[in-house]
Amino acid sequence: MSKLRVVHYINQFFAGIGGEEKADHKPEVREGVVGPGMEFNKNFGDDAEIVATIICGDSYFNENLEEAKAEVIEMIKKYNPDMFIAGPAFNAGRYGVACGTITDAVQSELGIPVLTGMYEENPGADMFKKSVYIISTKNNAAGMRKAVKVMAPFAIKLAKGEEIGSPEKEGYFSRGIRKNFFAEKRGSARAVDMLIKKLKGEDFTTEFPMPNFDRVEPNPAVKDISKAKVAVVTSGGIVPKGNPDHIESSSASKYGKYDIDGVMDLTEETYETAHGGYDPVYANEDSDRVLPVDVLRDLEKEGKIGELHRYFYTTTGNGTAVASSKAYAAEYAKELVDDGVEAVILTST
């Protein structure tokens, strides 16, 4: 019996091409296995083999989405695969979004089974877990062997059209699909069992998990805004012209802190947006449309606010992991408090 044919997608880092400086690498295809593909082939055994590996830089894919999808799909077609695997991406945001996007596209356009893997807080997981199978992984590449050990046999089951078990059994993120089954106990009895376990402090698994909303208690109102130091923070990607800190257009791995002391207006010649999730034309023409420095200067002159803080903080919210966003905020919130800022205006797109 011939082996199942698998095409594997990885980014520039796992291909050994380079890191962020090579993130603009254009799609290319190489025969056989590259990087983590070796671990997949080892776990496939005699059932499957990777016949080709497609490599694409994270920035190139996310900044040229439609073109990149079309290029990669054309590359895949030539190999007539039985299965397509992307990643695993772990907690790399742009890589995760790329893996989710291309697996979803391959599934819908080529009609073949697809699989990827990523950490639960990767934005790609939240975006695509209902449309494609995504195996849950650790948050970094140290979990590669464990991830592949789960992904490889699951991929073979998908390719062979075998019955897929529950998310808990197979290790993939829940897709929100509910199936009828016959349980040994009726619902009321199961509910009472769960209640007793909860009252005893014992572990139990709910049959209907509720969403976990992150609630933040609001601060008290500013006592006198006319005397307050006000800062501006944005996820709209406004940066000095040229994006000196190279903040990524999506799935940002950093934020910027920029001095606006004496700046009265964010002009087309001095500021722009690094954001890749909205049409940048109007923001590039006048960055005050996203970060209203000009209006705040007017309010400062009129005495309606005490003063505008000399620094603003910025990143791109497009696809950026929630965990990363929280970490950035924790860092600069401390700086803002230390600098005597009493109010922050957070702007988006």
CATH number at residue 26: 3.40.50.2300
Q: What is the pLDDT of the chain when averaged over all its residues? A: 92
pLDDT (average), residues 298-314: 96
Instruction: Tell whether 189 is covered by a domain.
Output: no
pLDDT in tens, 199-225: 999 998 887 777 777 788 888 899 999
Q: Are residues 272 and 135 in the same domain?
A: no
216's tokens:
């933040």
Q: Whose CA is closest to 323, among 42, 93, 54? A: 93
Instruction: Tell whether 205 is covered by a domain.
Output: no
Between the alpha carbon of residue 267 and those of residues 28, 230, 257, 297, the distances in Å are 39, 21, 18, 14
Instruction: Tell whether 203 is covered by a domain.
Output: no
Instruction: Tell whether 217 is covered by a domain.
Output: no
- Give me the pLDDT at residue 255, please: 94
- Give me the pLDDT at residue 1, please: 63
Q: What is the CA radius of gyration of the chain?
A: 24
Q: Are residues 263 and 331 in the same domain?
A: yes
Distance between CA atoms of 138 and 119, rounded to whole angstroms? Answer: 6
Instruction: Tell whether 202 is covered by a domain.
Output: no
pLDDT classification of 14: cutoffs 50, 70, 90: very high
pLDDT in tens, 56-107: 999 899 888 899 999 999 999 999 999 999 989 998 888 999 999 999 999 9
| Contact between residue 77 and residue 110 where contact means Cβ atoms under 8 Å apart | yes
**Res 126 pLDDT > 80:** yes
Say how many domains are in the chain.
2
Instruction: Tell whether 28 is covered by a domain.
Output: yes
- Give me the pLDDT at residue 152, please: 96
Q: Is the pTM of this model over 0.85?
A: no
**Res 176 pLDDT > 80:** no
- Give me the pLDDT at residue 318, please: 81
Q: Whose CA is closest to 237, among 310, 296, 290, 293? A: 290
- Give me the pLDDT at residue 105, please: 95
Q: Are residues 147 and 10 in the same domain?
A: yes
Q: Which of 170, 205, 233 is the last residue of a domain?
A: 170
343's tokens:
């109010």
- Domain holding 229, by residue range, is 225-347
Q: Which of 135, 150, 170 is the last residue of a domain?
A: 170
Phi, psi of 246 (to 5 degrees): 55, 50
Q: Are residues 149 and 14 in the same domain?
A: yes
Q: Are residues 114 and 249 in the same domain?
A: no
**Res 251 pLDDT > 80:** no
Percent of the chain with pLDDT over 70: 100
Beta carbons within 8 Å of 240's beta carbon, 6+ residues apart: 258, 270, 271
Q: Are residues 162 and 232 in the same domain?
A: no
pLDDT (average), residues 36-63: 94
Q: Are residues 159 and 234 in the same domain?
A: no
| Contact between residue 4 and residue 156 where contact means Cβ atoms under 8 Å apart | yes
105's tokens:
């596209």
| Mean pLDDT lowest among 25-34, 120-129, 179-188, 308-317 | 179-188
- Give me the pLDDT at residue 208, please: 77
11's tokens:
């980014």
342's tokens:
């009493």
36's torsion region: left (phi>0), alpha (psi -120 to 50) or beta?
A: alpha
Distance between CA atoms of 69 and 54, rounded to whole angstroms? Answer: 12
161's tokens:
């059209």
- Give me the pLDDT at residue 320, please: 79
Q: Are residues 155 and 233 in the same domain?
A: no
